[in-house]
Structure 1
Amino acid sequence: MTQFKPLDAYGVVGNLETVALIGRDGGIDWLCLPRVDDASVFARLLDGQGGHCTIAPAESFEAAQTYVDRTNVLQTRFSTASGAATVTDFMPVQHRTADDRHRTLYREVTGNAGTVDLAVEFEPRFDYAATMPTLDHTTHGVTATGDGETLTLSGTVPFEISDGSATASLSLQAGESQWFVLGYDQAVRINPDAHRDLRAGVVDYWQEWSHTCSASSCPVAGPWHDLAVRSTLVLKLLIQKAVGTIAAAPTTSLPEAIGGSRNWDYRYNWIRDAAFTVQALAELGHIEEIEAYFELCLAHCGQDTPAEMQPVYGLYGATDLTERTLDHLDGYRDSTPVRVGNSAATQRQLDVYGELVVGVYEAVQYGADLLVDHWVVIRDVADHVCEVWDEPDVGIWEIRGEPEQFVYSKVMCWAALDRAIRFIEEADVGEADIEGPVDHWRETRQTIRDAVLQRGYNDELGSFVRSFEADEQLDAALLRLPQVDFLPADDPRIAGTIEAIRRRLTTEDGLVRRLEGSDGLPGGEARFVVCSFWLVNALAAAGRIEEATDIFERVCQCGRPLGLLAEEVTPEGEQLGNIPQAFSHIGVLTSAMALTTHGGHHYAQKGYPPYSLADQSSTAYPGLRQADDH
């Protein structure tokens, strides 16, 4: 029986084109090549026979992971009865060229103390483990071929090939090292000096990028600075550097409930998630990312009418994201189905119009030059919102039941018109092209506001509600109303909404469910991480700083030991859903900034200090040669 690892037992590395999940047992259990939205070459994350590449001690060992400071270079430290060794994993970063040399993953194994016997297993499985490739010895190591792809594991140790896998053994004393390099459609000759220089360049890249906002000038100075840096590094890994789009997560079908069917493919570009991401990065000084994304997004949206706008697209612009299941995979902890594609692309989600226009508005405030070339898109979106705001949709939570008149969708339609109006009101005298039917927009904005206040607020509950139809049910997205300026944070109706959500959707630890009522799917789910951060933001804006700080730190503890957060967390603290999740890390950043602004660091109890390997508790594993599950 396959022993699946908990999701917090994984670190991630990447090259701004794809992301690998690497376990504390030294196994690369998830990697799609050449891009994150392509088929996997290793998928043990979703099935025990899905393929992996593992380097680990041959005898029983304990292991812990950490990152090289302010980088996406991952280190896994092994301790055995006879010694200690470290595997350092990294991928060279993609550049805007046709150079594919970044499509490699480097693994250096270094002896730290005593003598450690290690085993290497290379078991690639192409096309989501539907294809078992042919393995052959080559000059550089072992090459797997099949389904029109090749994957080479280079190394200087001898490999044995049997039954679709290659194995090798090595023994390292303190100070000795060996290199292994995975190359997609290429073979890399082992050259330790060149590899060390390459690693130094990768470390420099990440440290320079992450220090665009230094600890002294960062809006998250103080106890949460390192946590904020880790979240920015995660978000950067999800950005496709060649085009600027942002994956919601690098994985598919990690379940929201073990044994349930809420298993979705998040390797696509949601306009909503991406808009939140670039807004958060912009506040930390990463202006290049915000401008690149909205330039692409607005150009793409301008190719069709607003009515044809999808809430989600492929990372390289694909519109057909037809959902299908991979029935040959067992799923993480036997949770099926395993899906690729996402039917949300065909849904109507009216809040997306607001997320887009609000995001563009904030980007322009940070200095992005977007209006000259793209004002017509904003104007057309505002006109379209005037026509459709009062129609039902499936909402921010992408329900798969009957559409409703979701209150949050109405508010975001209001926000789209509000920001379009602000663009015109704030335009310079010479910006003659920034014009539109502003009187009509104002009238519709007021009509939406009146409808929300009259039909979207329940006086008996003292709270805004899920939808005009479900007027006794709650929705955690309503915590964002002050963030988009629909009402001030100290309005009694906002205070009542906070209290209702705390009472009916929140655990004692501050973990928040998305909403009450059915979403058209069977079974349940865990607590949605970003909702907890929305609660933090709402409390902070309302002046309840100590309370907000306590919830923030409790939720952030769920990301230990590496600071990586999945989509959801159970009341017991187990992470579930796709990981690392952009939405969750956006929440970390926005809440950390809000708390810092309001003085929350004075109430910090736990903080989030940088970790060293010595600070972490290790996880015990059987040796690679002893583990039947491998």
Structure 2
Amino acid sequence: MEYRSIAAYGLVGNRETGALVGPDGSVDWLPFPRLCSPSVFARVLDVDIGGWFCLRPIGDFESTHEYLDDTSVLRTTFHGGDGTLTLTDFMPPHGITHPETVTERSLVRRVTCVEDEETLDVSFRPRFDYARGETTIESIAESHAGDGRTDDGGIVGYRVTGGERTLSLWTDADLDLTRRDATGSVTLTEGESRWFVLTEGDGPRPTYGDCQRSLEATLDHWRGWVGSLPGVGGEHRDLLARSAVTMRLLSNARTGAIAAAPTTSLPEDIGGVRNWDYRFHWMRDSSIVSRALSRLGATEAARANLDWWLDHLNEYGPASEEVLFHPLYDLYPDDDTVRTTEITLDHLSGYRDSAPVRIGNAAYDQKQLDIYGELLLSASELVGAGVTLSDEEWAGLHRIVEHVCEVWQEPDYGIWEVRSQPEQFVNSKVMCWAAVDRGIELATGRGESVPEHWVRTREEIHETVCERGFREEQNAFVRSFEADEALDAACLRIPLVGFLPADDPRVQGTIDAIVDRLLVDDGLVQRYEGPDGLPGRDHAFVLCTFWLVDAMAAAGRRDAAATVLSDILDRGSSLGLFAEEIDPMNGEQLGNYPLAFAHAGLVNSVLGLTRAGEDRVGVDETVPTHHD
């Protein structure tokens, strides 16, 4: 088998974990029971040994897949040699009322023949612990399954064990067992269905009625939630809804933590080493994502994110004497079985031989100063939306601003988490300014006295960045104080956080320089110039393109912004999903997928450009052209 395109996958999930499902009906990625848990299926990282769960016609077929409107339920349609099958995949989300035998820690799959007759091929090949652990499958004895329920439709169980882990596969399809695989085929006629329920533990047998009610409850849950969001509407309603659902899938229902992505080690550079684990809770990513959700109307996400960080500071204290917070944390910080320590899985070949495969993330130990500005921006937006901060919450934010005043002059590893030496990154300084600025704003709004050194620090940061971060010869802000001319697309955020007005000539010059040197194709913007300590290519970063849209719109270049937005929206997957990066040479999506960052950028740009159209200032500019 060959690897399929990253963008070919759909994500289904329960707000605790998620599975990637290909258009051939194969689940090729599933960490279970949590997103940060080791995988049960990982064929996306090794086609030979990673493990998979595939439901497909037995012969040649063509397929399409789509999400059922406003939900995370994925439907794949197979047109086989004799008939047509539909495959419906979902995971019941946390918090809905479940039939007692279909728990929220379940992957549920239904295959239905909708035309003529077709034979289904079943291949169930779990491989515990990233294919490192022993896996065995055995039939569940009838005495265990028998519970007096009469509408089970012939559903039988298979127990899957690996070390101390146990899963159960319940199905009404007759399967043949080997020691660690279950396979088989079943012919379906028009109107017939087969159910497959993979669930944690060794629980009771589900029935047809349980499965159907769970599907209906899942559809109702997602459609009710999307329908409650006032920001989901307009020309790009479907993309806004898909982004909202995707970001919420990555928002843990139990802890409020937001994962950057549901995957690890999907490469930014095919065949290269830029392969990272994104199944963690970053202060930066989670704050940006929570603000995007809040702008759609899901204010509770922004509140939960702010609470998570302030509660963590209150309970655990600062990360060290030098660092108040690490940049990222486990989704379950109280679970000592999960580690952020970065290790490689050398037994896995990696997606399209992109090794190493990594779990954990060494950026945990980096100093990243921009993160504090992201959290203060979130707090400021919440207060602007009418949320009242408690005295304890304000005390935590006050402590963060004090820390920023102490450390803002230090070098760090920046927003891009470079693996070269730390620098005085301009974006980090600007975000430190934003942290102090919003701290002053919040204190004033609360009627608190503003410490004089906060005001002095804000002015000092501003003066220093304008003096040391701007290059007259480039007519642009550059990557760092040490850089002579290297650009950084993160400087597009300078007007977006209020550091300088969008019509300032230095902002306009920075936009022009980035269009000239980092816009590498229509709708694609690279992150930065200069070394980052890694070999290989860094391709266009999706979020940076949305930042360009936002900066152009703020600067009055609405026609240009609308063109760039249209270009990048056209590059989404057939399901409306975005990975981390896009290769401008062939349009291939690269990196972890789907990326919460990217979908937050989409929401912000679509909503921002809509507002710019309603309240236009300035004049539209010529649409930019990329350089060769």
Instruction: State whether TM-score is above 0.5.
Output: yes
1:286 aligns with 298
* 1:18 counterpart = 2:17: yes
1:402-481 correspondence to structure 2 within 5 Å: 402-428=421-447, 434-435=448-449, 437=451, 439-481=452-494
Return the letter of the residue paired with 1:171.
Answer: T
Q: Deviations over 1:132-169 (max 9, x none)?
A: 31111224232211111112221122211125211121
Matching residue within 90, 102, 107 for 1:105: 107
Describe the superposition over 1:500-525 as per-residue Cα deviations: whole angstroms up to 9, x where unpaired: 00111112312111100001111112
CA displacement, residues 353-404 of structure 1 (integer Å, 9 cap, x when unaligned): 1111111111222233334221112111111111111111111000111110
Alignment equivalent of 2:330, drawn from 296, 314, 318: 314
1:91 aligns with 2:105: no
For 1:448 and 1:291, how far apart are their aligned partners in 2? 28
CA distance in 1, matches of 2:175, 2:389: 54
Amino acid across the alignment from 1:460: E
* Greater displacement, 318-327 / 417-426: 318-327
Q: Which moved more, 1:179-188 or 1:143-152?
A: 179-188
Q: Are the aligned partners of 2:324 and 2:400 in contact in 1 as well (CA < 8 Å)?
A: no
Instruction: Give the partner amino acid of 1:275.
Output: S
- Residue 496, structure 1, aligned to residue 515, structure 2: no
Given candidates 493, 496, 502, the residue that maps to 1:483 is 496
Residue in structure 2 matched with residue 225 of structure 1 by the alignment: 237
User: RMSD of the TM alignment (CA)?
Assistant: 1.9
Tell whether the 8 Å contact from 2:114 to 2:191 is kept in structure 1 after alignment.
Answer: yes
Offset at residue 188 of structure 1 (A): 5.1
For residues 81 and 422 of structure 1, what CA distance do their matches in structure 2 show? 66
Residues 159 and 202, structure 2, Cα contact 8 Å, conserved in 1 = no
> Residues 19-58 of structure 1: matches in 2 within 5 Å?
19-48=18-47, 49-58=49-58
Aligned partners of 2:579 and 2:591 also within 8 Å: yes
Structure 1 Cα separation of the partners of residues 345 and 246 of structure 2: 28
Aligned pair in 2 of structure 1 residues 268, 96: CA closer, same or farther (>3 Å)? Answer: farther
Residue 614 of structure 1 corresponds to: none
Give the distance between the partners of 1:498 and 1:190, measured in 2 at CA: 58
- In structure 2, the partner of 1:239 is 251
**Secondary structure of 1:391 counterpart:** coil
Q: Which amino acid aligns with 1:298?
A: L
Which segments of 5 or more consecutive residues in structure 2 lack a partner in the other structure? 143-155, 621-628
Q: Which amino acid aligns with 1:159?
A: L
**CA separation of 1:414 and 1:577: change in aligned 2, threshold 3 A:** same
**Contact 2:54 / 2:122 at 8 angstroms: preserved in 1?**
yes
For residue 314 of structure 1, report the CA deviation from its aligned partner.
Answer: 0.6
Query: In the TM superposition, what whole-angstrom CA distance separates every residue of 1:214-273 from its partner, at most 9, and x where no partner exists?
Result: xxx43x532111100100000000011011000000000000000000100000000000
8 Å CA contact retained: 2:139, 2:159: yes
Residue of 170, 186, 198 corresponding to 1:170: 186
Shift of 1:94: 1.2
The DSSP-based 3-state class of the residue aligned with 2:550 is: helix
* Contact map agreement 2:502 2:555 (CA 8 A) in 1: yes
567, 583, 592: which one pairs with 1:578?
A: 592
1:517-576, Cα deviation, whole Å (9 max, x unpaired): 001111112111000000011111111112111111211122131001100001121000
Residue 185 of structure 1 pairs with residue 198 of structure 2:
no
Match of 1:136 in 2: 138
Between 190-199 and 331-340, the greater mean CA deviation after superposition: 190-199
Write the distance in 2 (CA, Å) between the matches of 1:477 and 1:29: 34
Instruction: Indicate if the aligned counterparts of 2:9 and 2:21 stay in contact, CA closer than 8 A.
Output: yes
User: Does residue 1:394 correspond to 2:385, yes or no?
Assistant: no
Tell me the distance in 2 between the aligned counterparts of 1:128 and 1:188. Answer: 27
**8 A contact 1:295–1:370 mirrored in 2:** no
Q: Which amino acid aligns with 2:222?
A: W
Q: 1:419 to 1:262 in 2, by over 3 A?
A: same
The residue that corresponds to 1:329 in the other structure is 348
Match of 1:276 among 277, 288, 291: 288
Q: Indicate which of 362, 365, 369 corresponds to 1:343.
A: 362
Residue 194 of structure 1, CA deviation: 2.2
| Alignment partner, residue 61 of structure 1 | 61
Change in Cα spacing, 1:96 to 1:393, as seen in structure 2 (3 Å) is: farther
Task: For 2:122, give the aligned amino acid.
Answer: V
The CA distance in 2 between the partners of 1:305 and 1:89, in whole Å, is 42
Shift of 1:601: 13
Asked whether the equivalents of residues 142 and 159 of structure 1 are also in contact (C-alpha less than 8 Å), the reply is no
Unaligned runs of 5+ in 1: 429-433, 604-630
**Residue 488 of structure 2 contacts residue 529 of structure 2 at CA under 8 Å; is this kept in 1?**
yes
Q: Render the CA deviation track for 1:161-200: whole Å, top value 9, x for unaligned.
A: 1252111211112211111111121345242222111111
Whole-angstrom distance in 1 between the partners of 2:614 and 2:487: 28
The Cα shift of 1:312 comes to 0.6
Distance 2:268 2:90 in 1: 29
In the comparison of the two structures, how many residue pairs are matched? 592
- What is the DSSP-based 3-state SS (H/G/I as helix, E as strand, rest coil) of the residue aligned with 2:420? coil
Residues 466, 474 of structure 1: 8 Å contact kept: yes
CA distance in 2, matches of 1:277, 1:382: 22
Distance in 1 between residues matched to 2:287 and 2:430, nearest whole Å: 17
State the match for 1:149 in structure 2.
165
Alpha-carbon distance in 2 for matches of 1:557, 1:167: 39
Tell me how far 1:483 sits from its aligned partner.
1.1
Q: Contact 2:8 / 2:573 at 8 angstroms: preserved in 1?
A: no
Change (3 A) 1:489 1:371: farther
Name the residue aligned to 2:151.
none
Q: 1:583 is aligned with what amino acid?
A: F
Determine the C-alpha separation between the residues in 2 that align with 1:409 and 1:181: 47
Report the secondary structure of 1:329's partner residue: coil
User: Is the 8 Å Cα contact of residues 372 and 404 (structure 2) preserved in structure 1?
Assistant: yes
Q: 1:27-69 deviations in whole A, cap 9, x for unaligned?
A: 0100011100000000011011110111000000011100111
Q: Is the 8 A contact 2:137 2:179 kept in 1?
A: no
Cα distance in structure 1, aligned partners of 2:302 and 2:407: 28
**Aligned partner of residue 76 in structure 2, secondary structure:** strand
| One-letter code aligned to 1:459 | E
Question: Contact 2:268 / 2:591 at 8 angstroms: preserved in 1?
Answer: yes
Residue in 2 that maps onto 1:620: none
Equivalent residue number for residue 573 of structure 2: 560
Task: Quote the residue 2:623 is aligned against.
Answer: none
Q: How many angstroms does 1:87 deviate by? A: 0.4
The one-letter amino acid of 1:292's match is: A
| Equivalent residues of 2:39, 2:130 under 8 A apart | yes
TM-score normalised by the chain length of structure 2? 0.91
Superposition TM-score, scaled by structure 1 size = 0.91
Whole-Å Cα distance in 2 between the matches of residues 5 and 11 of structure 1?
12
Q: 1:543 to 1:61 in 2, by over 3 A?
A: same
**Larger deviation: 100-109 or 347-356?**
100-109
SS in 2 for 1:420: helix
Q: Does structure 1 retain, via aligned residues, the 8 Å contact 2:302–2:378?
A: no
Instruction: Quote the residue 1:622 is aligned against.
Output: none
Distance 1:600 1:338, change over 3 A: farther
**1:117 matched to which residue of 2?**
119
* AA matched with 1:109: V
2:525/2:544 contact within 8 Å kept: yes
The 2-side partners of 1:205 and 1:537 are apart by 32
Quick one: distance in 2 between partners of 1:435 and 1:151? 57
Report what 1:370 is aligned to: 389
8 A contact 1:133–1:146 mirrored in 2:
yes
Aligned residues of 2:291 and 2:378 also touching (Cα < 8 A): yes
1 CA distance for matches of 2:293 and 2:51? 35
- The amino acid that maps onto 2:108 is Y
Percent identity over the alignment is: 47
1:527 to 499, 519, 540: 540
Query: How far off its partner does 1:88 sit?
Result: 0.3
Aligned partners of 1:102, 1:184: CA distance in 2, in Å? 9
Q: Which structure exhibits the higher relative contact order, with contacts defined as CA atoms closer than 8 Å and separated by 6 or more residues?
A: 1
Question: Aligned match of 1:598 in 612, 616, 627?
Answer: 612
Counterpart CA distance in 2 for 1:597 and 1:293 is: 26
8 Å Cα contact 1:179/1:190 also seen in 2: no
